[in-house]
Amino acid sequence: MALKAFLLLATVVVASADLAPSYHAPAPSYNAPAPSGPAQYNFNYAVKDDYSGNDFGHQEGRNGYDTQGSYYVQLPDGRLQKVDYVVNGDSGYLAEVSYQGEAQYPQYQPSQGYQPAPKVGYA
């Protein structure tokens, strides 16, 4: 009887050992490439949409710790606002804001409100 219990127990141990996963995936790792030098880039974009009146853009260039750029936007009052900026290392963001044109505020003319169509009566 003891021999039968031992064989049964041994069979259960072997069967459960086969169910255990034998493969363990390696831990994820990422080896980022080493920077090749200080940052260098140039970019620009512009949007001009006559239908909506949107007119704005931005350009910037960077070489190491020196960054220079400008951006502009057409304001609702008709002026063009332009910002020229410089960033030199830890000196911070130094901006010069300028405006082109004269602000215009035309006389407000309210449009006629919604008027429903007259009801047609049938006799």
* pTM for the predicted model, two decimal places: 0.58
- Backbone CA torsion sign across 72, 76, 77, 78: positive
CA neighbor of 96 nearest in space, from 75, 82, 109: 82
- Strands 66-74 and 54-63 come out as antiparallel
| Interval 77-87: pLDDT, tens | 999 999 999 99
CB atoms inside a 10 Å sphere around CB 30 = 4
| Interval 44-70: pLDDT, tens | 999 999 998 899 999 999 998 899 999
- Per-residue pLDDT for 29 more than 80? yes
Residues 98/85, Cβ–Cβ less than 8 Å:
no
- Measured CA to CA, the distance from residue 47 to residue 56 in angstroms comes to 5
